C-alpha cells in the first residue's frame, strides 16, 4: 500500500508510516494541482492538512485511492460528495487539536481586549502610550458562542473560569445539554443583542458562509468584539471592515481568512484588528497529536479495514470489527447471492437481524450486504463507502429490523429482496466462530458454504436425479468438489448446490437444463 503525504505533517506521523509493515510512504509537499494530479493514481492513501485541495478533478485521477486523511478538523478543502461517490473514505482528527484551537481563541480575545499587539509594537518603537492603549476587563462580560461542538465547549469552559457570562447558539445541540453544562442557550438574534464578545466555532458550509455579515452586525451591541478562529469566509470581511470603520464593531481578532494567505486586505490595515496566520492548531502538542492520529487511522484502515473518524461512512472500531467481522463477510455473501438470483429491478431490501447483538452497531453489516448486492449490477466500483449512495440512486429502499431471538439459530441474518417481478428471501448464519453458511433460499432449507464456483440446481426429488447431474458433469471433465442438497418445505423439489473446481461452461449449463429431472440451473460465483 502506498501513502502520499502532500502537506506538512509531524515527523512522528511520517515515522509511523515508515515503520508500518506493508506500507510505503512518500512525502511530497507544495505540489501544484497538476503535479499532484499526475502522480495521485499511484497511491492508496492521501494525507493532507489545509493546503491540498481534494477536488473532483483530482479524485477522477486517483484510480487507486481508498482513503483521504486530514490531520486536523476542517474538511472544506475536500469534495466529500465526490469522494463518497467514488468509494473513498474521508477521515479527519477531530480531537487532536481542539484544546489548542480553543486556547488560541481565548488568547486572541484577551490580546484584543488589552491591545497587546499594539502595545508591543508601540513599546518596541520607543513610545510609552499607556493612556491610549488602556483596555477593559473580561470579568462579567457576556461571551456569545456560535457553535457548541468540541472546541466551542472548551472555550465556554475556559471563559467560565474567567468569570464571564457565556451564552450559546447552536441549532444542533439541545437547550437542555447547554443548560446542563452551565451555560445559557439563546437564539442567534438574542445572542447578537446580548454579547459583548462573539466567537465563531462552526464549520464553513452553505448555511454558515457569510453568517456574520452586514445584517448580523447591525443587530449586535455597539462596540462588540468579533473573534474567528474557525474558518475563513464565515465572517464577511468587507462587511466587517465597514462595521469597524463605522464604530459598530469595536475590534476583531482573526486567525482565518477567506483567502489564505490574504494578501493586501484592507481589513488588516485597521488598528482595531489583530490577526495571526491560521495558528489555531499550531502548537507542538497539537501537531504531534494530529500526526499520530491520522497516521494510526490510515494504517488501521489500510491493514485491517478499521474505520475511525470518517465523515462519510460510519466509524467501525477494532472492537466492533472483531464482533461483527464474520457477519460482514456473511452479509456480503448474502447480497451477492441475491444479485445472482434476482429477476427484475430491485425495489426494496428488507434485512432482519436475529439474536442478541448486545447493542453492536449493525449498520456496517447492512452496508456489506448492499455492497454484495450492487457489485454485479453497476459500473461503479462498489465498496463500504458508496454502497448506500448507489442504492439510493437506484431507488432501492433499505429497512432493518433487529429481533431478539430465533427459534433455531443463535444469530441469523435474513435478507428479503423485493423486485419488480417478485421477491427472494435468503438467510445465513455463522457456524463456529467465523464459518459462513447459507441456511435458507426462499422455501428451501439447506447448509451451503458460499465459496468458489457453484451452480444452483432445482430438480425433482426422485431417485436417480442427482446421478444424472453427476454423470453429465463427469462427461465434460468437471470435478464436483462439494455438493449440498436442501429440500423444499412441503414440496417435491430439491435444491442442489454444486461447487466445482472450474466454472461450468455455458454449453454444459444448457445440457444440464435439458435433463428431464432438472427444473432450472443458475451458475454462481463467490
What is the full DSSP assignment across 324-393?
Answer: HHHHHHHHHHHHHHHHHH--S-EEEEEEEEES--TT---HHHHHHHHHHHHTTT-SSPP-TTTHHHHHHH
Residue ranges of domains in the chain, CATH in brackets: 2-95+285-304 (3.40.50.720), 98-275 (3.40.50.720), 318-442 (3.30.1330.90), 453-526 (3.30.70.260)
Contacts for 304-312: CB closer than 8 Å, 24+ residues apart: 307/89, 307/91, 307/384, 308/91, 309/91, 309/92, 309/93, 309/94, 310/89, 310/90, 310/91, 311/75, 311/80, 311/90, 311/91, 311/92, 312/80, 312/83, 312/84, 312/89, 312/90, 312/385
Task: Specify the DSSP class assigned to residue 294.
Answer: H
Q: Rounded to whole angstroms, how far apart are CA atoms 242 and 238? A: 6
Instruction: Tell me which residue of 332, 502, 475, 505 sits closest to 413, measured CA to CA.
Output: 332
Q: Assess whether pLDDT exceeds 80 at residue 320.
A: no
d(CA 521, CA 349): 24
Q: Which residues contact 126 (CB under 8 A, 6 or more apart)?
A: none
- The predicted model gives 481-506 an average pLDDT of 82
In this prediction, residue 249 carries a pLDDT of 98
List pLDDT tens digits, range 90-111.
Answer: 999 888 888 999 999 999 999 9
- CA–CA dist 359, 320 (Å, integer): 10
Cell numbers given for 429: 448464519
Q: Which span out of 63-72, 377-386, 393-402 was modeled with the highest average pLDDT?
A: 63-72
Q: Which of 253-267, 423-437, 488-502 has the lowest mean pLDDT?
A: 488-502
Between CA 120 and CA 127, with CA 124 as vertex, the angle to 5 degrees is 95
pLDDT (tens digit per residue) in 266-281: 999 999 999 999 999 8
What is the length of the chain? 526
Coil, helix or strand at residue 495:
strand
Q: Is there a catalytic annotation at residue 260?
A: yes
* Cα 59 from Cα 53, distance rounded (Å): 10
Catalytic residue among 35, 137, 218, 260: 260
Which listed residue (49, 70, 115, 278) is catalytic?
Answer: 278
- Percent of the chain past pLDDT 70, that is, above it, reads 98
Among 440, 421, 484, smallest CA distance to 334 is for: 440
Please tell me the distance from the alpha carbon of residue 10 to that of residue 290, in angstroms, as a whole number: 8
pLDDT in the model for residue 381: 66
Per-residue pLDDT, 429: 95
Confidence (pLDDT) at 408: 87
- 525 in catalytic set: no
Task: Provide the sign of the torsion angle of the four alpha carbons 382, 385, 391, 392, taken in this order.
Answer: negative
Catalytic residue among 231, 437, 440, 493: 231
Annotated catalytic, 437? no
Asked if pLDDT for residue 382 goes beyond 80, the answer is no
Contacts of 171 (CB under 8 A, 6+ apart): none
Confidence of residue 30 (pLDDT cuts 50, 70, 90): very high
Amino acid at each position: 500500500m502506498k501513502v502520499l503525504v502532500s502537506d506538512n505533517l509531524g515527523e512522528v506521523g511520517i515515522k509511523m508510516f515508515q515503520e508500518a509493515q506493508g506500507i510505503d510512504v512518500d512525502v511530497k509537499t507544495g505540489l501544484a494541482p497538476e503535479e499532484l494530479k499526475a502522480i495521485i493514481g499511484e497511491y492508496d492513501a492521501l494525507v493532507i492538512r489545509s493546503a491540498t485541495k481534494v477536488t473532483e478533478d483530482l479524485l477522477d485521477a486517483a484510480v487507486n485511492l481508498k482513503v483521504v486523511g486530514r490531520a486536523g478538523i476542517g474538511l472544506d478543502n475536500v469534495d466529500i460528495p465526490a469522494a463518497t461517490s467514488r468509494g473513498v473514505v474521508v477521515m479527519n482528527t477531530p480531537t487532536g487539536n481542539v484544546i489548542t484551537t480553543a486556547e488560541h481563541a481565548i488568547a486572541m480575545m484577551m490580546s484584543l481586549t488589552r491591545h497587546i499587539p499594539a502595545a508591543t509594537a508601540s513599546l518596541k518603537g520607543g513610545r510609552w502610550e499607556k493612556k491610549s492603549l488602556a483596555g477593559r476587563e473580561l470579568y462579567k462580560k457576556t461571551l456569545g458562542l456560535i457553535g457548541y461542538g468540541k472546541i466551542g465547549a472548551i472555550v465556554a469552559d475556559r471563559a467560565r473560569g474567567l468569570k464571564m457570562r457565556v451564552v450559546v447558539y447552536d441549532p444542533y445541540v439541545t437547550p437542555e445539554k447547554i443548560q446542563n453544562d452551565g451555560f445559557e442557550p439563546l437564539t442567534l438574534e438574542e445572542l447578537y443583542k446580548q454579547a459583548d464578545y462573539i466567537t465563531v466555532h462552526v464549520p464553513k458550509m452553505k448555511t454558515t458562509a457569510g453568517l456574520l455579515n452586514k445584517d448580523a452586525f447591525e443587530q449586535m451591541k455597539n462596540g462588540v468584539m468579533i473573534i474567528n478562529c474557525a474558518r475563513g469566509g464565515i465572517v464577511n470581511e468587507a462587511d466587517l471592515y465597514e462595521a469597524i470603520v463605522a464604530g459598530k464593531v469595536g475590534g476583531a481578532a482573526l486567525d482565518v481568512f477567506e483567502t489564505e494567505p490574504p494578501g493586501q486586505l484592507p481589513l488588516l490595515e485597521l488598528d482595531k484588528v489583530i490577526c495571526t496566520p491560521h495558528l489555531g492548531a499550531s502548537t507542538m502538542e497539537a501537531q504531534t497529536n494530529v500526526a499520530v492520529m491520522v497516521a494510526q487511522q490510515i494504517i488501521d484502515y489500510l491493514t485491517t479495514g478499521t474505520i475511525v473518524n470518517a465523515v462519510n461512512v460510519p466509524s467501525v472500531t477494532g472492537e466492533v470489527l472483531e464482533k461483527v467481522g464474520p457477519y460482514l463477510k456473511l452479509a456480503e455473501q448474502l447480497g451477492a447471492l441475491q444479485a445472482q438470483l434476482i429477476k427484475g429491478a430491485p425495489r426494496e431490501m428488507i434485512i432482519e437481524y436475529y439474536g442478541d447483538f448486545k447493542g453492536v452497531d449493525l449498520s456496517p453489516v447492512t452496508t456489506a450486504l448492499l455492497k454484495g448486492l450492487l457489485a454485479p449490477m453497476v459500473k461503479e466500483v462498489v465498496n463500504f463507502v458508496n454502497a448506500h449512495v448507489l442504492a439510493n440512486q437506484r431507488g432501492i429502499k433499505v429497512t432493518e429490523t433487529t429481533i431478539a431471538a430465533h427459534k433455531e439459530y443463535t444469530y441469523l441474518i435474513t435478507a428479503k429482496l423485493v423486485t419488480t417481478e417478485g421477491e427472494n428471501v435468503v438467510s445465513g448464519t455463522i457456524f463456529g466462530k467465523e464459518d459462513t453458511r447459507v441456511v435458507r433460499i426462499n422455501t428451501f432449507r439447506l447448509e451451503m458454504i458460499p465459496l468458489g464456483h457453484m451452480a444452483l440446481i432445482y430438480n425433482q426429488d426422485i431417485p436417480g436425479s442427482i446421478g444424472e447431474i453427476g454423470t453429465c458433469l463427469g462427461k465434460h471433465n468437471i470435478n464436483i468438489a462439494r455438493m449440498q442438497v436442501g429440500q423444499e418445505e412441503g414440496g417435491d423439489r430439491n435444491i442442489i448446490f454444486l461447487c466445482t473446481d472450474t466454472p461450468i461452461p455455458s454449453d454444459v449449463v444448457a445440457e444440464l437444463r435439458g435433463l428431464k429431472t432438472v427444473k432450472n440451473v443458475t451458475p454462481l460465483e463467490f
